[in-house]
Structure 1
Amino acid sequence: MATPKNLVCLWYDKDQAGEAARFYASVFPNTEVKAVHKAPDDFPGGKKGDELTVEFTVLGIPCLGLNGGPNFPQTEAFSFQIATDDQEETDRYWNAIVGNGGQESACGWCKDKWGLNWQITPRVLTDAMAEGGAIAQAAFAAMMDMRKIDVSKTEAAVAGARADA
């Protein structure tokens, strides 16, 4: 199997990359674990034969999970933004991540139990933001009061802005 020319490398604490990759594959379509690579020799914090890296995809995006240890925890500086088409899809992804030991945050952000950040973002919100002007302002104001994005409240805010125009 040829390694992609470019992929996202995600640092996990010791022995977490495989578990995380299998979870992502259970939640998102077009997501799979491609390969698990064992350490060929002892290394700082690990031994020969330990799971070192995991090749996987998230919605078709090639990733490499590195079991690097606790030195570099995930931050909000990196997140996957997942575009959703309706409330059912938004709820499904949000509930899977938060319900599996994750945490809610604000404005459509949540964090999985391994510390990786996700933006579960309905297209109605990103489409409104792309329109700009009063439409974007209305959608943005509605979003600022939310944790998980509520599609109907976003649509109502956009409809109100259109009616006022």
Structure 2
Amino acid sequence: MATQGFTTCLWFDGTAEEAAHYYVSIFKDSSIGRIGRSNEAGPGPAGSVVTVEFTANGHRFIALNGGPQFTFNESISFQIHCADQKEVDHYWARLTDNGGEPGPCGWLKDRYGVSWQVVPDELIDMINDADPQKAARTTRAMLAMGKLDIAALKRAYAGE
């Protein structure tokens, strides 16, 4: 395997370039790379965008204008690990604006239908705590939330 690892390909219906710029505007360590265009042989009109290489938060992606045959669903999602509530709030707001949809338990869909999990780093430790009561209280609190509230999760964890 090449030392560069994996690249995630995201299938869009004509909005690949727009989506790539959207993701680059949200995440640090992001940039647009090569833009592949159709030539006289196709697959679309000569000069139309087929692929856009981009990096978001250091992860490599290709946005592909593949057509309407396939759409995103919740069976695949990206987790955003957040250090604090400010990061949770930032990503939640940016990814749900202009047509995004908030979901349960820190999940959301962005305007393109891509699913994301906006997760505070602390949550993973709390719900996997060796004390089953602490873990259960935190899990119950999480299951009742949309956007995750770290202070409320900590209160549940502590039994308050």
Cα contact 1:39–1:49 (8 A) shared by 2: yes
Cα contact 1:143–1:149 (8 A) shared by 2: yes
Aligned residue for 1:69, secondary structure, equals coil
Cα contact 2:97–2:111 (8 A) shared by 1: no
CA distance in 2, matches of 1:127, 1:13: 39
Aligned residue for 1:48, secondary structure, equals coil
2:66 aligns to what? 68
Cα contact 1:124–1:154 (8 A) shared by 2: no
> Where in structure 2 are the equivalents of 1:7-156 lying within 5 Å?
7-14=7-14, 16-40=15-39, 41-43=41-43, 46-132=44-130, 133-156=132-155
Aligned residue for 1:90, secondary structure, equals helix
> 1:56 is aligned with what amino acid?
F
Question: Where does structure 1 lack aligned partners over 5 or more consecutive residues?
Answer: none
CA distance in 2, matches of 1:3, 1:73: 30
Question: Where does structure 2 lack aligned partners over 5 or more consecutive residues?
Answer: none
CA distance in 1, matches of 2:7, 2:73: 18
TM-score by length of 1: 0.88
CA distance in 2, matches of 1:89, 1:146: 17
Cα contact 2:98–2:111 (8 A) shared by 1: yes
Aligned residue for 1:131, secondary structure, equals coil
For residues 143 and 5 of structure 1, do their structure 2 counterparts lie closer, same or farther at Cα, with a shift above 3 Å needed?
closer
Indicate the percent of aligned positions where both proteins have the same amino acid.
39
Q: Output one character per residue of 1:105-156: Cα deviation in whole Å (capped at 9) or x when no partner.
A: 1110111111111111111212212325333212211011111001111111
For residues 143 and 54 of structure 1, do their structure 2 counterparts lie closer, same or farther at Cα, with a shift above 3 Å needed?
same
| TM-superposed deviation, 1:53 | 0.4
> 2:51 is aligned with what amino acid?
T
Aligned residue for 1:6, secondary structure, equals coil
